[in-house]
Structures are given as structure tokens and as C-alpha cells.
Structure 1
Amino acid sequence: MSRKPTVDDVAEAARVSRQTVSNVLNSPAIVREDTRKRVLDAIDLLGYRPHASARRLRTRKSSTIGVRIDPMRDGISGAVLDRFLHKLTEHADARDLRVMLFTAADPQDEIAHIRRLRDGSDIDAFVLTATVHGDPRIAWLIEQDVPFVSFGRPWDPGAQTPRHRWVDVDGRVGVAEAVRHLRAGGSTTVAWIGWPEGSGSGDERRAGWQSECGLSADARTHYSRRTLDDVTESTRAAAELLDLPEPPDAIVCASDSLALGAMTAARMAGLPALPVVGFDDTPVARAVGMSSIEQPLDEVVAAALTLLFGPEGDDVRPNPRNDEEPTNRLLAPRLVERRPGHLQLDATTGG
């Protein structure tokens, strides 16, 4: 069949009426089991998919997911969110779901947007990104019983609840793997450049370095730096490390932005082959031949939609809350190893 199958095609294949097919799709409990099975077999055989817009009218659901676009920090860090949004849109489209993007100045502004969109029946569920300690969005969404899933876990002790569905990438495991790999390759002093203390994901990634670096507590302080997610600031931090009497022979960073700064400092110090590992495997990492830890965004998005709507093929309405079912997924990243490329970085600008 070259054209898309219709409900009439299903009815003919299953030897039932068009109304019976509609009942199987929308009110299966009123259809006899043998008839329901015959219709479902015909649907599978023909590859029939109910028309999304018709279903939205019938169920009075928008089949739309809302997600906020975070402010762009720089072209490197912003690439991660861009890729996540693209993956979310692709996976949602495959499930006849739509994605609505909106902007907000801060968490309270985001809550205000969610309230308006929810009250207007424009959106059925929401995806949060960049969860933080004491995240007010999570508490409000749970209190208001709004369906949501977050890309990012709850960071406060005791904050986890089945009502908060979340997917996250295990940064600790990813960084620990990178440090082990460097040490197995001959590096004896692996330094760390991360974000200021208090970042949930940043602190977790640092913990991965700490667990595998093999340094004493004093040496860990000596060979680690905290800085903003900025190439210039990271260049300064890495320069400090490389200027030590006994400098590190490898550097692992909490992001590709920080790693690019470390690579710049290494070139300035005459150490272009110094092993540097970033996090996120952005296009910049690939362009300059920088090793990085890749987040499995396809798996993240697929898991988020499954937590929110059930397995693919289920009704697009958000799953009812079920405290007995798993409500989170923690996924493992992977190290992508590269050799530094021949791209020459401007030592005066860090660009």
C-alpha cells in the first residue's frame, strides 16, 4: 500500500465497522477481547497511526510538550541544549507530539509561563532542564499536579519523590572513566578544572575526578581549580596549574568550554600534546580534536518521553501517577577519545 492506511482500511482488514475501530482506539474496554485483538492485529499489519489532529480534537488534549529555552551563555555551552531540543523535537514528532518553546528570565518567570500555558490548555506536559538545588519549579509543578519530567535530577538530600520524574546522565561515572583512561595511558597527575561549588552536576563531575585521581586530599586541592564556564577564565586557571613546580600531565574539565581554555593554556606553555578531556562532546570538541565525554541525548529524550507518556505506541496523554513504577533513569555517558588537531588557537584571545 503506497498511501498511508486509513481507519477504513483497518476496518476492512479486521472485518469490522469503522466505529468498532474507533472504539478500540478510544474506548477499548467496551470492545470484546477477540474483536479488539483482531483490530489491533490489523493496525500492526497495516502500520496504521491515528491522525494526531483528529485525536487532539477528540480527547481535548493538545498533545503538546512545553520546554523553556535557557539563556545562551556562549556558543559552546549552548550547543548542548540545542542538541537536546533537536532530539526532543525528533522523538516527539515520531509519537505525534508537538514541542512548544518559550523563554523565561528566571525560575519564577518560568513558573508564570507554565501557569498561563497550562490554564489555556495549550500544553499537556512540560520538560524542565538545568535542575538546581532548591529548584522552585519542581515543588510548584508537584503541588499543582502538572505532568512534567526533568532533564536533571533533584540535587537536595531527601528531595527525591515518585512524583518527580527525571532523566539524567551520570557525570561522576563519565569523569571517573576519563581519569582512569588517562592514568592507564601513563598520566600520573591528572588535574581538574570545574565550576564554582554548589552546582549539582559540577560537584558530581568533580566527585568522579576525586574518586579516581589517586591524589591525597592536599594534592587534590593543589591540582584543582573552580571557575566560571568561560574559555578565558579557564585559560587562566589552566595556566596556573601548568605553572606549578610539578605541573599536571593531564587535565579533565567539567565542560568543553573549560577544556578549550585548558587546551589554549597548554599551547601557550609549549605543551600542545597535553591530554585534555572535556564534557558534552560539542562540535567544538570535534573540530579541535579534543577528547570529551558524550551525553547519550537520544537515550535521554527517549527515556524522558517514556516516563511522561509511557512506551511508544501508547496514548499521548501523560501517564497517571503510579508510585510503584520507576520514575527516573540515570544513564551512563561515554568517553570519546581524540588526538589534538592542527587548529591553531590564538594565544592572546583564547579563541
Structure 2
Amino acid sequence: MAERKAATIGDVAREAGVSRQTVSNVVNSPSIVKESTRLKVQAAIEALGYSPNALARRLRTQRTSTIAVKLDPYSGGVSGVVLDRFVHALTESAAARGLRVLLYAARTLEEELRHLDELADAGEVDAIVLTGTSRGDRRAARLLERGVPFAAFGRPWGTDTAAHPWVDIDGAAGTRSATRHLLDRAGDRIAFLGWPEGSESGSDRERGWREAMGERTAPRLTAEDGVAEGQEAVKALLPNGIDGLVCVSDALAIGAHLAAVQAGRPELPIVGFDNTAAAEALGISSVEQLPERVAAGILEMLMGPEGNKVVAQEPKGLLVEPRLIIR
């Protein structure tokens, strides 16, 4: 017979029809919970055999000198190195402050939410760093509800009022700089190759191109991220349709470069985004995101300029301007 899985705080919350925070309050601070609610939660605890961890309760009021961040699944291909650089930079910067980094993996949003609840329940970390933020991010809402200190690599899209600290790359500034460079060097018809609608960071990068172009007109192309996709999207414009091209990623820029070579325009100026080793090897200019500055900014927001203890958090943000690398 299979061993019965131990009940979690989430199981108790569902059984009692309350939030996880209410269950946590019943376990740790029962005096602040209405009696009828407390009795309902205690009945669920007894029915499910839930056993709160005394060590976890102690850890809530003690420092662990540990921060957690998700390790994204390996995606391969050209792109995807920025978050790897960020995790390395965060680990190195944290170590310099006497802190450890705990990595957790999650392939879906629901899986990540479960991990966040487990980290909060166990008191294993002093703070959590989110990556890959989205509009109406449920992870941020969950951590705010649980009262867990956290900061995000990525802005709270869709709102001008932040509820938590965040640091992000100013993608619009990067593509604006790239577009102005090509306007000065190549001519007025500087096209843009972006992702399909739905990408917040992609829209931000497109905005920088539009701002730099002003009243000038040039094609705005769309492709899923990938070398082959970029090559297919651009070849219809060549050989003489554009003076230059700004791309939302290095993968698309490499595809565009291959299309230009096949069309007899290997000199077509192209700028990618991410400054990957592949773009460098092919001599393609690119916008470098500087995730090391993001990591340093996040730790400063969480713990001050030099400290290693979470301080009172201000719900503010910081945009890091990327660097244009010309080749």
C-alpha cells in the first residue's frame, strides 16, 4: 500500500475554506483569529493529521541568511542566457554579503506557487527573488498575502504603482539607442523585427524603436523567437527594402543576418538584443542587458547598500539602462 502523503498547510486551508495565511495565524498566533474560524481550522488540522513543524515556526522569527530564486528550465538555443547570468551574479553578490542562495525549479505557474507556499511555511529563507514578471502576477500577490519579503527582476507590468521592490532592464532605452545608431549610420528606413503581441518586454523594446524613428516610416515585422523564424520574416524585405534592422532578440538578429547574406547584402547593419556569444561570433551588434547590475540592485533594495539582513521594504522600482555593443 502506498504511503499516505503528509498534509500541507494548503490542504488544511482548502478543507477549512480559508486562506493559507489564516491557517498560519491559527498555528502561530491563534489569539488574533476569530474563535469560530479557529475552531474550523483546528477541526481541519485534526481531520487531515496536519503536523505544523515547530522548527519552521521558530525560523519565522530568526534569520536564515538565505534568499531563494527560481532556476529556469534549460531552453537551449541562442537566447536564455540572461537569467543564467543573473542567477550567477545574484549568487556571487549574495556570497559577498555572507548570504546563501537557494535555487528551486518549477515548470508551471501552479508548481511555482506551491514552491513559494512551501518556502513560506517552512521559514527556510529570509527573502525571495522573482523573475519573469507578468501583468497581474499571481506570485507577487501570493507573497504579499503571505507577508514574505521579496523583490523582482522585472517590473509590475500594467500598473504605475508598485506594491513591492523591483529592478528591470530599460528595454526601450536599449532599442532607442540602437535605432538612433542605425539612423546615423545607415539611413532612414530602419525596420524592427519583434515578437508577436502578448510580450510585455517585447512591447517595451518596440516602443524604444518607435520613439527613435519619430515621423520616419519603416516596416515592423513579427516572428516567434528563433533563428529560422527571423530568417523567414526578413527575406521578403531584401535585397533593397530597408537600410537597417533592430531586432528584439539575438536569435532573430542572427536569422535576419543569414537572410541578408543570402540576398547579397551581408553588410546590412543589424542590431540584436542580449549580446550573446553567438551574436559576438558573427560580428552582430547587440544590446547588452547587464543582469549583474540588476542583481546588485535587488540585493540593495532588500538589504540596503551593504547589509545582509532584510530591511523595511519600500515599494519602488529601478530601471537599469542597457549598453549598446557595436561591432
TM-score normalized with structure 2 length: 0.78
Unpaired stretches in structure 2, ≥5 consecutive residues = 1-58
Identify the residue that residue 330 of structure 1 maps to in structure 2. 319
Return the letter of the residue paired with 1:247.
Answer: G
Task: Work out which of the residue numbers 273, 295, 305 in structure 1 matches 2:289.
Answer: 295
Q: Distance in 2 between matches of 1:187 and 1:195?
A: 24
Identify the residue that residue 199 of structure 1 maps to in structure 2. 199
Q: Distance in 2 between matches of 1:74 and 1:187?
A: 35
Q: Distance in 1 between matches of 2:65 and 2:237?
A: 51
Q: Distance in 2 between matches of 1:111 and 1:123?
A: 15
Return the letter of the residue paired with 2:167.
Answer: V
Deviations 1:71-115 (A, max 9, x none): 333332121111111111110110111111111122221111011
Q: Distance in 2 between matches of 1:116 and 1:255?
A: 35
Report 1:55-134 matches (<5 A).
60-134=62-136
Identify the residue that residue 313 of structure 2 maps to in structure 1. 321
Identify the residue that residue 175 of structure 1 maps to in structure 2. 175
Q: Distance in 1 between matches of 2:81 and 2:313?
A: 33
Identify the residue that residue 267 of structure 1 maps to in structure 2. 261
Contact 1:108-1:137 at 8 Å conserved across structures: no
Deviations 1:197-240 (A, max 9, x none): 12111001001111112455xx44xx111221111111111112
Return the letter of the residue paired with 1:231.
Answer: V
Q: Distance in 2 between matches of 1:133 and 1:242?
A: 36
Report 1:211-222 matches (<5 A).
211-215=211-215, 219-220=217-218
Return the letter of the residue paired with 1:152.
Answer: G
Structure 1 residues 65, 261: CA separation in 2 closer, same or farther (over 3 Å shift)? same
1:186 partnered with 2:186 = yes
1:227 partnered with 2:223 = yes
Contact 1:153-1:167 at 8 Å conserved across structures: yes
Report the alpha carbon displacement of residue 138 of structure 1 after superposing the two structures with TM: 1.3
Identify the residue that residue 251 of structure 1 maps to in structure 2. 245
Contact 2:221-2:233 at 8 Å conserved across structures: yes
Secondary structure of 1:91's aligned partner: helix
Secondary structure of 1:100's aligned partner: strand
Q: Distance in 2 between matches of 1:133 and 1:240?
A: 34
Deviations 1:19-66 (A, max 9, x none): xxxxxxxxxxxxxxxxxxxxxxxxxxxxxxxxxxxxxx9x83221111
Contact 1:236-1:265 at 8 Å conserved across structures: yes
Q: Distance in 2 between matches of 1:213 and 1:171?
A: 16
Deviations 1:154-174 (A, max 9, x none): 11134x32x311001111111
Report the alpha carbon displacement of residue 320 of structure 1 after superposing the two structures with TM: 1.9
Q: Distance in 1 between matches of 2:325 and 2:67?
A: 32
Report the alpha carbon displacement of residue 308 of structure 1 after superposing the two structures with TM: 0.9
Secondary structure of 2:118's aligned partner: helix
Q: Distance in 2 between matches of 1:238 and 1:183?
A: 19
Report the alpha carbon displacement of residue 322 of structure 1 after superposing the two structures with TM: 4.3
Contact 1:190-1:249 at 8 Å conserved across structures: yes
Report the alpha carbon displacement of residue 192 of structure 1 after superposing the two structures with TM: 0.6
Unpaired stretches in structure 1, ≥5 consecutive residues = 1-56, 339-351
Task: Work out which of the residue numbers 142, 145, 154 in structure 2 matches 1:143.
Answer: 145
Structure 1 residues 322, 213: CA separation in 2 closer, same or farther (over 3 Å shift)? closer
Identify the residue that residue 5 of structure 2 maps to in structure 1. none
Secondary structure of 1:179's aligned partner: helix
Identify the residue that residue 307 of structure 1 maps to in structure 2. 301
User: How many corresponding residue pairs?
Assistant: 269
Q: Distance in 2 between matches of 1:167 and 1:173?
A: 15
Report the alpha carbon displacement of residue 137 of structure 1 after superposing the two structures with TM: 0.9
Return the letter of the residue paired with 1:124.
Answer: D
Identify the residue that residue 275 of structure 2 maps to in structure 1. 281
Secondary structure of 1:112's aligned partner: helix
Contact 2:186-2:243 at 8 Å conserved across structures: no
Q: Distance in 1 between matches of 2:68 and 2:249?
A: 27
